[in-house]
Amino acid sequence: MPRKITYRKALNEGLDEELANDDNVVIIGEEVAEYNGAYKVTEGLWDKWGDKRVVDAPISEAGFIGMGIGASMLGVRPVMELMFFSFAYVAFDQMMNNAATCRYMSGGLINVPIVVRGPANGGTNVGATHSHTPENIFANMPGLKVVSPSTAYDAKGLIKSAIRDNDPVYFMESTVLYGQEWEVPENDEIEGGELLIPLGSADIKKEGTDISLIAHGRAVITALEAAEILSAEHGINAEVVDLRSIRPLDEQTILESVKKTNRAVYIEENKPFCGVGAQIASMIQEKVFDYLDAPVLRISSMDSPAIYSPPLEKAQIPDAALIVKKALSIC
């Protein structure tokens, strides 16, 4: 039987392997060391690697993110954990104005090989200030790379590639996914001996012929649920495309899927205004318009701050029923 591990464990394995692979890799963040991480992603790593490789930081994102960016310019490969990606705004100048532009402004002489990772999602009833999904904001900035894995397999393969990348990679996870399990092979079962997924490579999570459901992050799981309903109840064979990497973006995989199915819906838990789906819809319209048999649709979170009330926040975030309804409207 193939082994199944949680999304959390997959990240933990990826971090552990990269700490072993390169002495310049360090993990820094609030409670990542002795407490094993706010979400236990770094569990056991401090015990194994010690104070110099797994470092607890004070509650000052501007301080420790800035320190990590500076260290990365000098050859360290820091992996910075944010307890919520909402707290990135405290370090916005560091993350957007400095990390993103240093390589360009130095004429390529100074790289910034930093990874900033943590949960970027709503749906856990922690209020508007802790539930932001800022992947579209960071993806808007040239010089940054933005990753959003939807499975444990992708989480492990992408975190390892992100750490090895010479540019800033902002790695956006989901607290809702941390405890879910997927098949992830042991390293000795993989050609090359380790799981690496290149940044900028989308993945077809389900083959289909009638409509392309395109998504990133946890919305991919919701899209797969919708695809099952569409098949079982309506005879519609939906293809599910997982971006995995928002920037760099695998345009070819997306466009080839739409050319095959002639219909597209983009699903995200991001807000609609200037969201990732707007970029994808524009790209599809510009590059494969003649293949479309219906308008490109977008499904996103309700355009309001995250609602604290559990039943209302649940209604705020796209579910499978909404995807099915929208898909049927263009099939």
Place of tokens 């090359």: 192
Out of 17, 61, 268, 313, the active site residue is 61
- Residue identified by tokens 């263009």 is 330
Residue pair 175/39 in contact by the 8 Å Cβ criterion: yes
Q: Which of 267, 258, 260, 249 has the alpha carbon at shortest distance from 286?
A: 258
Would you say how long the chain is, in residues?
Answer: 331
**Which residues are bridge partners to 331 per DSSP?**
none
Name residues whose C-beta falls within 8 Å of residue 68's C-beta, 6 or more positions apart in sequence.
Answer: 28, 76, 78, 80, 114, 116
Best CA proximity match to 170, nearest among 225, 98, 99, 262: 99
**Do the beta carbons of residue 147 and residue 244 sit within 8 Å?**
yes
Q: How far is Cα 285 from Cα 296, in angstroms, rounded to an integer? A: 8
| Residues whose CB is less than 8 angstroms from the CB of residue 235 and which lie 6 or more positions away in sequence, other chains included | none
Q: Is 216 a catalytic residue?
A: no
Is 73 within 8 Å of 102 (Cβ atoms)? yes
How many Cβ atoms from other residues are within 10 Å of residue 281's Cβ? 19
Residue 262 CA to residue 279 CA, distance in Å, equals 18
Instruction: Measure the N-to-C terminal CA separation of the chain; round to a whole number of Å.
Output: 38
C-beta separation of 261 from 236 below 8 A: no
Packing angle, helices 320-330 and 219-234, rounded to 10: 60
What token pair was written down for 58?
């004070």
φ, ψ for residue 80, nearest 5 deg: -100, 125
Q: Is 173 a catalytic residue?
A: no
Catalytic residue among 18, 30, 130, 268: 130
Active site residues: 61, 130
